[in-house]
Amino acid sequence: MALPVEFLKRMEALLGEEFPIFVQAMEQGRSYGLRRNPLKQGGERLELDAQFGLRPIPWAEHGFYYDPDTRPGRHPYYEAGLYYIQEPSAMAVGALAAPEPGMRVLDLCAAPGGKTTHLAGYLQGKGILVANEIHPARAKILAQSVERAGIPNCLVTNETPQRLAERFAGYFDCIVVDAPCSGEGMFRKDEIAVTEWTPDAPQKCAERQAEILDCAAAMLRSGGKIVYSTCTFAPEEDEGSVQDFLDRHPAFFIAEVPEQTYFAPGRPDWIANGSAELVKACRLFPHKLEGEGHFAAVLVHGGQTDEAAEPKRAKGLDGKEIPIEYRTFETETLTCRFPYLVRGGDQLWALPEEMPDVSGLRVLRQGLQLGTVKKGRFEPSHALALALGAADAKRVLHLTAEQSIPYLCGQALACEGENGWTLVLVDGISLGWGKVSGGMLKNHYPKGLRWNG
C-alpha cells in the first residue's frame, strides 16, 4: 500500500525522529479486536480465549485481540450477539465515555454500531440510549447491530444533528461524537481511505466537525460530557477542532483521562494558538500500541445551561389497548413482562420507562421490537429473541455451537416437548425463535440472516 506523499510529508514534519518507526508501523499488518457483550445473559461463563486466541486489550475492559484465522465473525456466537467485532483503538472511545446505568446517552454519529453497543453495555439496559446516523443505508446497519446486541433501551434515529438539537436541548448526560473525518488512522485497515484522501480533506472535515460539535453542545446538560473522537492524525481535525470548540464554548473544559501508558498526550504545539489544556486529549498511534490511529478528548460542560423544556414522554398503551394476541403469547411463552408498550401499525414495541416522544423524527427502532400483531396471533420478533435470557422463556431448545449451524441455515429440527414458540439457545445464549409442533421445530430464524448450507 502506497501512502499519499503529501500525508507522509506532513507526518514527517510533525513526528520528527519518530517518523521512521511510524512509517514502519503503517506498513505492517493491522490488529484485530472483538468486544464481549455484557448484556448477553450467561455469556460470561463461556471461555473463548483458546478458541479465538484472545488477548486482553489494555484500555477496554471487555476488549480482546483475536487471531484472524479463527474467524469469530463466522461463528454462531457472533450471530447471538455474544461479542462485537471492533477495531482495538476504537474501543477507547466507549471506555472514556463509560456512562453509568440510568443516564441519558447519545451516540451522534453512530453507524455501524461499535460505539453504540459499547455504551449499551455500560448502561445495562437502564436509562436512554439514542443512536443516530444521518445516512439512511448506514442507519439500517446500525439498527441491525443494536438488534444483534439485544439492547432493550435504544432509540435508533436517522436524523441530522440540527434536527435532534431542536428536540433535545439540554437533555443528555453523555454524548459521543465519533466525527466524520479524513480517515488517516485507518489507512492500513482500509485501502479505500487511502485512495479517497486528498490534501484538503482535513480542513473540509474540520468544518463539518464544528457544526456537529455545536449541536452536541446544545443537547448536553450542565455537568455532562462530550467524548469527541476521530480516526485521523490530522491536527486540524483533532486538536484544532477541539481548540476551536473551546473558543466558541468557554463553559467547556477538557477533562483529565485515566493515565494510560499506551496513549500519547494531545499536541497543542501542532496547531496555531493551541492551549496547554490540549495535552489532556489523547492520541493513539500505531507505533505506540496494537491498534490503528485515533484521537479523543473528553469535553465537560462546566457552566450553567438555560432551563430546557423536558421533551414529552412517549404515550404508552393502557391495559385495554394491549392486543389480546400479544397477551396470549406473553402468557404462553414468556416468564418476563414488559410494562411500557407502544404500537406502530402492526408492530408492538417495549419502551424504556422514560422514553421521550419521538413523533416527527425519522426513527428506525424505538426500544425493543416485540413483534407483529396478526389476525388471531402474535409473531415474536428476532430482536425479542436476542434480548431474552434462557430464564425468560417457558420453552427453550439447547444447542451446541455445532448443532446450531443447521438452525442458522434455516433447517427444521427435531424437538421433543410442548408445542408452541420456543427460544433457541447456542450454549445457553439466545439465538432466535422456532415453533414446535408434533416433535419438530419449525425454523423462524430470519431468512435474510440465514447462512448458506
Decide: 59 and 33 in contact? Cβ < 8 Å: no
Q: How far apart are CA 177 and CA 117, in angstroms?
A: 15
- CB contact burial 253-276 (16+ within 10 A = b; e otherwise): ebeebeeeebbbebbbebbeebee
C-alpha cell at 144: 441491525
Judging by beta carbons within 10 Å of its beta carbon (0-12, 13-18, 19+), is residue 152 exposed, middle or buried? buried
Residue among 154, 231, 282, 415 flagged as catalytic: 231
Q: How far apart are CA 318 and CA 321, in angstroms?
A: 5
Residue 259: which residues within 8 A CB-CB, separation 6 or more?
none
Placement of cell 448458506 in the chain:
452
3-state secondary structure of 300: strand
C-alpha cell at 302: 462546566
Cα within 13 Å of Cα(19), Cβ side: 11
Element (H, E) at 20: helix 19-26
Q: How far apart are CA 221 and CA 306, in angstroms?
A: 9
Q: Letter for the amino acid at 2?
A: A
Q: How far apart are CA 363 and CA 159, in angstroms?
A: 8
3-state secondary structure of 5: helix
Strand partners, 396: 423
Q: How far apart are CA 268 and CA 135, in angstroms?
A: 33
Strand partners, 436: 420, 441
Of 201, 251, 248, 198, the closest CA to residue 224 belongs to 251
- Indicate if 231 belongs to the active site: yes
Decide: 296 and 95 in contact? Cβ < 8 Å: no
Strand partners, 157: 132, 363
Placement of cell 462485537 in the chain:
84
Decide: 253 and 300 in contact? Cβ < 8 Å: yes
Of 93, 118, 107, 97, the closest CA to residue 38 belongs to 118
DSSP letters along 23-44, please?
HHHHTSPPP-EEEE-TTSTTGG
Active site residues: 231
